[in-house]
Structure 1
Amino acid sequence: MKFAIAGSGAMGSRFGFMLHQAGNDVILIDKWDAHIQEIRQNGLTVNYNGTEKVVKIPIYRPNEVKGKVDVIFMFTKAMFLGEMLEDIQPIIKEDTQVVCLLNGIGHETVMKKYVSLENILIGVTIWTAGLIGPGKIDLEGTGSTEIQNFVPGGEEKAKEIVKVLEEAGLNGVYSENVKFSIWRKACVNGALNATCSLLDATLGEMFETDQAISITEKIVKEFVDVAAKQDVQLDFNDTVEYIVKSAKELGHHYPSMHQDLVQHHRLTEIDYINGAVARLAVEYGIEAPTNELITKFIHAKEQLLKVK
């Protein structure tokens, strides 16, 4: 199979690198000129668990991509998903499988506009990655990748992709209920990403504060209430425990929103995480004041930092 990574920042580059290392035919797709030029000239530089590696992986701008691709992994920022899918339409054929592993909630609504339902796979990954600079990423730790076909009938193809992910060391898992995992990860991100960005703190530093648990509980309670309206049952205590455990295991890590907003002054995915919960709460006639306030704080910080 030939794979394309649409959106080759930190996480996209991790997947591209690990698939490439396993011997797969992989191309990267991105719009960041400095990133593209660095990878074309010098290769992708990867600090992989303390060892530096340089790999040559073809990288293209969306309008440069041609030919047939069997599987496309979507790793754009949530707000750019539709734009990327529009740009790469020439390589989305009638049998191309498109796997969405973006942070946040509700991406299938956008994907349905550009991809046949039977070719959509949705999922979640708990791998981490850091973007050091153009063409340079930092990878450490372990994780997993969980995917499921969007509509019945695509199980066989989904499991083929899971097998490739397993062989590449990405710990692929076929899910029978990926919607639960997506909501749980969104809740983890909702409790950690925005808060660490606002506090300018690592996960560990945040949970050294006396307020961390209380803040986490308020955020999680609202996620649990809204998820229930979508027939997703998140257990409050289990989810809080999972978040605390995740924060302790990755204590020195700055989450992706911190990398985007604080480190690189880029727009965040807040509207697809905390903002999505606040928006859905209004639709369901319930309240999510903590997530609404956090969303407003992040947007205020985006304006103060004049992000693009």
Structure 2
Amino acid sequence: MKIAIAGSGALGCGFGYHLQKGGADVTLLDNWEQHIKTISEKGLTISVNGSKDNQEMDICRPHELKEKMDVIFVFTKSMGLKSMMESIEHIIGPDTKIVCLLNGLGHLKTLEKYINRKNIIMGTTVWTAGIDAPGHTHFNGQGPVEIQNSDPSEKEATIEIVDLLQKSGLNGEYSENVNFTIWRKACVNGTMNALCTILDANIEEVFATPTIDSMLRNIIKEFATVAKHQDNVTLNVEETISYLKSLADKVGAHYPSMHQDLNNNRPTEIDFLNGEVAEASKKLGLEAPYCQQITDLIHAKEAILGITTTKVK
């Protein structure tokens, strides 16, 4: 099976590494020149749950890959999805499957502009990752990776990818309700990522604060309201809080991706998380003051750092 990883940052490299170890023919796609050069010349150096390895891997810029792929995993930042899809249209065949594990909300609408809905597989992952230097990454977690086909007639093809993920040690699971999973993952990022970024602290530190229950409850209530109105997804607020606390215990002293982005002067995905909830609330005639305030605070930090942000869908 020929697989492309469209966006080979920390998570993309982690998935590409495991899929290749599992027997797939993997090509990493990225635009970071030093990252490409290092992996091409010295292989990918990766630490998986503390165990270090080096793996030779094919890597190039998106336009340099010429053959059609069987499966493409997209791991761009939310605001980079449109640009990436434009750059890989030439490797998408009539039967190519796109697996989208991006953080955030609203990505299916973007993907449908470039590929038939029957070939789109949506999902989530709770693996965490980071880049230590060009060509050097770390990858932590135990899964699961939950996916579901957007077209009910394509379940068999999705099951094949679930099997591939399982063989690769990525704990693939077929979801019967991926929209619920996506919204719950959005709650993870809309709380953990956003709060760690605003407070300049890791997950362990944030979840040890005396105000954590209040902060989580106020944010999740707004996510739950929009999820119900927009996608008929029911999020139990108290159950979601318990899930987040359990996840925080497992992850520990990790700085999430949004915090990493600001520390490296990169724009954040806040518009596709709390910002999406605030925007959707307005369209529905509702209010989401906590999500709006969080979005404004993150954008204020970006402005202070001189980071230009543009929401692209």
TM-score by length of 2: 0.96
| Structure 1 residue 124 displacement after superposition | 0.7
Map of 1:14 onto structure 2: 14
Distance (Å, rounded) in 1 between the aligned partners of 2:147 and 2:64:
28
- Code of the aligned partner of 2:167: E
| Structure 1 residue 154 displacement after superposition | 0.5
- Code of the aligned partner of 1:253: H
| Structure 1 residue 120 displacement after superposition | 0.7
Point out where structure 2 has 5 or more consecutive residues left out of the alignment: 309-313
- Code of the aligned partner of 1:278: A
Distance (Å, rounded) in 1 between the aligned partners of 2:276 and 2:269:
10
Contact 1:184 1:239 in 2 (8 A): yes
Distance (Å, rounded) in 2 between the aligned partners of 1:141 and 1:269:
22
Q: For residues 247-302 of structure 1, what are the alpha-carbon distances to aligned partners after superposition, in whole Å with 9 as ceiling and x for unaligned?
A: 1211111111111112x111111000110100110011111000001001111111
Q: Give secondary structure in 2 for the equivalent of 1:14.
A: helix
Map of 1:232 onto structure 2: 233
Distance (Å, rounded) in 2 between the aligned partners of 1:140 and 1:293:
31
Map 1:21-170 onto structure 2 (within 5 A).
Answer: 21-170=21-170
Distance (Å, rounded) in 2 between the aligned partners of 1:158 and 1:51:
30
Contact 1:8 1:75 in 2 (8 A): yes
| Structure 1 residue 179 displacement after superposition | 0.3
Distance (Å, rounded) in 1 between the aligned partners of 2:51 and 2:248:
24
Contact 2:127 2:139 in 1 (8 A): no
Greater Cα offset, 9-18 or 298-307: 298-307
Map of 2:294 onto structure 1: 294
Greater Cα offset, 139-148 or 23-32: 139-148
Distance (Å, rounded) in 2 between the aligned partners of 1:42 and 1:302:
34
Distance (Å, rounded) in 2 between the aligned partners of 1:173 and 1:245:
20
- Code of the aligned partner of 2:239: D
Distance (Å, rounded) in 2 between the aligned partners of 1:148 and 1:49:
27
- Code of the aligned partner of 1:255: P
- Code of the aligned partner of 1:72: I
Distance (Å, rounded) in 2 between the aligned partners of 1:15 and 1:306:
32
Contact 2:131 2:137 in 1 (8 A): yes
Contact 2:126 2:141 in 1 (8 A): no
Distance (Å, rounded) in 2 between the aligned partners of 1:301 and 1:258:
11
| Structure 1 residue 51 displacement after superposition | 2.3
Q: Give secondary structure in 1 for the equivalent of 2:54.
A: strand
Distance (Å, rounded) in 2 between the aligned partners of 1:176 and 1:48:
29
| Structure 1 residue 49 displacement after superposition | 2.2
Give every structure 1 segment of 4 or more consecutive aligned residues whose post-TM-superposition deviation is greater than 3 Å: none
Contact 1:4 1:73 in 2 (8 A): yes
Greater Cα offset, 40-49 or 102-111: 40-49
TM-score by length of 1: 0.98
- Code of the aligned partner of 1:201: A
| Structure 1 residue 48 displacement after superposition | 1.9
Map 1:121-270 onto structure 2 (within 5 A).
Answer: 121-230=121-230, 231-262=232-263, 264-270=264-270
- Code of the aligned partner of 1:28: L
Contact 1:128 1:143 in 2 (8 A): no
Q: For residues 75-129 of structure 1, what are the alpha-carbon distances to aligned partners after superposition, in whole Å with 9 as ceiling and x for unaligned?
A: 0000010110000111001110001110011100000000111111111111111
Alignment RMSD, CA only? 1.0
Distance (Å, rounded) in 2 between the aligned partners of 1:141 and 1:155:
26
Distance (Å, rounded) in 2 between the aligned partners of 1:299 and 1:245:
29
Q: Give secondary structure in 1 for the equivalent of 2:98.
A: strand
Q: Give secondary structure in 1 for the equivalent of 2:195.
A: helix
Contact 1:260 1:268 in 2 (8 A): yes
Distance (Å, rounded) in 1 between the aligned partners of 2:261 and 2:2:
29
| Structure 1 residue 23 displacement after superposition | 1.8
Give the paired residue count. Answer: 307
| Structure 1 residue 68 displacement after superposition | 2.0
| Structure 1 residue 50 displacement after superposition | 2.1
Distance (Å, rounded) in 1 between the aligned partners of 2:290 and 2:262:
20
Q: For residues 160-200 of structure 1, what are the alpha-carbon distances to aligned partners after superposition, in whole Å with 9 as ceiling and x for unaligned?
A: 01100010010101111100000000011101101101111
- Code of the aligned partner of 2:206: M
Map of 2:304 onto structure 1: 304
| Structure 1 residue 41 displacement after superposition | 1.3
- Code of the aligned partner of 2:249: K
